[in-house]
Amino acid sequence: MTGKRLLDDCFLHDRDRLRHHEALEILRSRLSAVAKSETVPLEACLERVLAEDVMAPRNVPLADNSAVDGYAFRHADFDEAGGFFRLEQRIAAGHATDATLAPWGAARIFTGAVMPPGADTVAMQEDCEPHDQDGQKFVIVPQGLKKGANCRLAGEDVAEGTTILSAGQRLRPQDIAAIASTGQAEVSVYRKLNVALVSTGDELRRPGNLITVGDVYDSNHFLLKGLCDTLALEVTDLGILKDDPGLVEATLTKAAKDHDVILTTGGASRGEEDHMLTALDRLGTRHMWQLAIKPGRPMMFGTIGDCVFLGLPGNPVAAMVCFLLYARPVMSVLGGGAFLEPQAFKVPAAFEVAKKKPDRREFYRASLRQGADGTPAAHKFARDGSGLITGLREADGLVEIPEDVTAVKRGDLVTFLPFSGFGIR
C-alpha cells in the first residue's frame, strides 16, 4: 500500500445523476499519483509510467556516420562534372578510423560506419563506378550530390542533454528504444498499482465448471483482467462473491488493507441482492454513483480507508464502457500517469436513431467501414443490449452521442472513439 489516495474533498454533487463531463471534471481535479517509484531494467518497463525525466547523456548518434553503403569524400573536392576519387580506406560499422582523407581521396564505407576525418558527404554505391588504373583503385562519383548527402550527423536524432521523455509518460516500445539508444539500461518508473478484482452474484460460475439453468459464466472477470493488463497493473483475483452481505463486507474490508484499488463488477444497483453499494456505504465513503449515461448508469466510485473503490455494472457492455471512460483514467493517475483521454474523431453515421432520451449521453458499439467513395462511416451494432458481448467483439469502438442530441440521421457527423485509442487492439 502507498500514501493517501485522494484529496480530502469528497465527490458529492447536488444532482442525483452526474453528467458525463461533470464526472470527468470531478475525477480529473481530485485525483493524484499515489504509487511509489522503483528502478527497473528496460526489458521490464513496457506500459510502465516514468517517475523521472529521461535525459540524453550523450549524442545519438555519437559521431557522424554513413546512412548508406557507398563512398565517403570531401565535398570541397567535388565539382559540377562529378569526381574521380582515389580509394584510400575501407570502413565498416564498428571500426572507426582516425586517418584523415587526403584531397581527392575517398573511403569505401558501409551503413552505420563512422565518417573518416575530413569527409562530409557519401555517394551511394549503386550510383558510383569503381575503376582500376595502374594498380590504384579509384571511384567515379556522379554529379549533383549536395554537401552532407547520405551522412547522419552526431546528435541528429537526439542531442546530449535533451529531455527524451518526461515523468508521467507511459512507455511504448518506441520510447524504450529511444532510451536504449542513449545507452541507459534501466529507468525509474512508478510501481504497479495493486488491484483487487471481484465478481459478484450467486448465478456466476467460472469457465470449466458445469452450469444449469439460471447460471451464467463469469465473462466479466476475463474482460476486466484483460483491460487491466493494458495498464500494467498488478491484479489479484478475489474470485466470485456470493450475494451474502456479511461475506461481501468481510472481503472488501480485507482487500482494502492490502490493495490500492478494489475493482468490482455487479451489485452496483439498489436491488435487494445488490450488496456492493450497501457495503461501500457501511465501510467507507461513496463519492460518486448514478451517472446520466447509457450503458453504465450505476457506476460507483468511493474509498474504503486509503483504498479506492471502483464498482462497475454487472452487464459486460456497461462494465467495459465504464472501465474505459472512468476506471482507466482513474487508475492511470493513481499510478503516476496522465488522465487518459480517449482518442476521438468525427465520421458520418451509417445508421439512424429515431429517438434518443435527452439529458443522457449514450455510447453505441460501432465499426468503421469504407463506403463506395472511400469515406469511412460508423456502422452501429444492430442490438443495444448491455449483455451482448458479440457487439463488443465485432465493434472497432464506440460512437458517443451527447446529451442534447435526441435523434441521429444517416450522414450526421458523430464522434467515434476507436478501441485502439484505449490501448485495445
For the chain, the domains span 20-36+192-334, 65-152, 345-422
Q: Provide the pLDDT confidence category of residue 129 given band limits of 50, 70 and 90.
A: very high
Measured between its terminal Cα atoms, the distance across the chain in Å is 31
Q: How does the average pLDDT of the chain come out, rounded?
A: 91
Give the side-chain half-sphere CA count within 13 A for 222.
Answer: 8
Percent of the chain with pLDDT over 70: 94
CATH architecture of 65-152: Beta Complex (2.170)
Contact indicator for 77, 199 with CB cutoff of 8 Å: no
Nearest to 337 by CA among 43, 31, 39: 31
pLDDT tens for 112-123 read: 999 999 999 999
At residue 49, does pLDDT exceed 80? yes
Q: What pLDDT does residue 268 have?
A: 63
Cell of residue 162, nine digits: 535533451
Neighbours of 313 (CB within 10 A): 24
CA distance 244 to 237: 19
Please classify residue 373 by burial: count the beta carbons closer than 10 Å to its beta carbon, then call 0-12 exposed, 13-18 middle and 19+ buried. exposed
Neighbours of 336 (CB within 10 A): 24
Q: What pLDDT does residue 79 have?
A: 72
Please classify residue 375 by burial: count the beta carbons closer than 10 Å to its beta carbon, then call 0-12 exposed, 13-18 middle and 19+ buried. exposed
CATH topology of domain 345-422: Beta-clip (2.40.340)
Q: What pLDDT does residue 230 have?
A: 93
Contact indicator for 376, 366 with CB cutoff of 8 Å: no
CA distance 110 to 198: 58
CATH topology of domain 20-36+192-334: Molybdenum Cofactor Biosythetic Enzyme; Chain A (3.40.980)
pLDDT tens for 282-336 read: 999 888 888 999 998 889 999 999 999 999 999 999 999 999 999 999 999 999 9
Q: What pLDDT does residue 88 have?
A: 94
Q: What pLDDT does residue 265 have?
A: 93
At residue 337, does pLDDT exceed 90? yes
Q: Among 216-225, 247-256, 277-286, 358-367, whose mean pLDDT is lowest?
A: 277-286
How, if at all, do strands 361-370 and 376-380 pair? antiparallel
Q: What pLDDT does residue 80 have?
A: 62
pTM given for the model = 0.86
How, if at all, do strands 194-200 and 234-241 pair? parallel
pLDDT tens for 176-229 read: 999 999 999 999 999 999 999 999 999 999 999 999 999 999 999 999 999 999
Q: What pLDDT does residue 372 have?
A: 82
Q: What pLDDT does residue 273 have?
A: 55
List of E strands, 94-150: 105-109, 121-124, 129-133, 136-141
Q: What pLDDT does residue 16 have?
A: 66
